[in-house]
Amino acid sequence: MNNLNLQDIKGSYDAVFSLGSACNPALQFQRLNLKRFTSSPLDWSYSPFLSDVNRLLKNNFKEFMELKNMCVINDKGMSIYINDEAIVASHKGIQTPTKSYIIQDTLYNIFSAHDFPIIANQKWFVTYPYFKKTLNYRIKRFLEKIANSQSVLFVRWAANYHEAVELQSILSQMVKGRFNVLILNPVEDLKEISEVNWGLDRTCVVNVPSDPNSDSTWDYVLNGVTLTN
């Protein structure tokens, strides 16, 4: 089986989607003009294990972030509440931070750190109806886009081999057109980016320095990736 490499990743795609594990891929897509429409369902969440994301995709997001499965993990305001407009404007210094709860979806082990602002004298779920409406819209757009696009690139920060094999299999059932997967695996004290041969024909894997916010890392791995007109 041929191994997909970074050279093969280069090209134009109808859509580029983040599959976690945190906000960093989506933020880099914005910086590099690879984000054309509304956020995808996983853009602003934290998904520590790709196996959970695989299960979520396989289930077509069924019962994702349902209130009955959600609980407060941290109420200290360690994260800030954001929305798409605030993130876009943050580099201009015009975002006013509002502290946010960290909420866990216990069914899928995926965390929200930016969706539920801490409001004085209010329960954490007071903004849930707006959140769920927005999330459902993003899920619908995501599923429609991957079903109807001719080419899609999926990007994931941190995964193991078995998770990558499973992801490629799941996506082959969901994506009607051509797709590629790019996995960035952080390695402590690594200085130079190196490609890894996992023998997967639709998945490119690279070992990268451990800082997920490094613009130079993202510039390197996404060099030559563009969106179709």
Could you write out the DSSP letters of every residue in 76-88? EEEEEE--HHHHH
* Predicted confidence band of residue 84 (pLDDT cuts 50, 70, 90): low
Q: What's the half-sphere exposure (Cβ side, CA atoms, 13 Å) at 55?
A: 11
Q: Where are the domains of the chain?
A: 6-227
In this predicted structure, what is the pLDDT of residue 86?
Answer: 41
Please list the residues that pair with 20 across neighbouring strands: none
Pure H helices in 1-83: 6-9, 24-31, 50-58
What is the C-alpha to C-alpha distance for residues 198 and 205, in angstroms, rounded to an integer?
A: 7
Task: Give me the numbers of helices (H) and strands (E) for the chain, helices first please.
Answer: 7, 11
pLDDT in tens, 95-138: 557 899 999 999 999 999 999 999 999 999 999 999 999 999 99
Do 155 and 25 touch, CB atoms closer than 8 A? yes
208, containing H or E segment? strand 203-209
- Classify residue 181 by its DSSP letter: E
What is the C-alpha to C-alpha distance for residues 224 and 191, in angstroms, rounded to an integer?
A: 22
Pure H helices in 32-116: 50-58, 84-90
Is the pLDDT at 91 greater than 70? The verdict is no
Percent of the chain residues topping a pLDDT of 90: 86
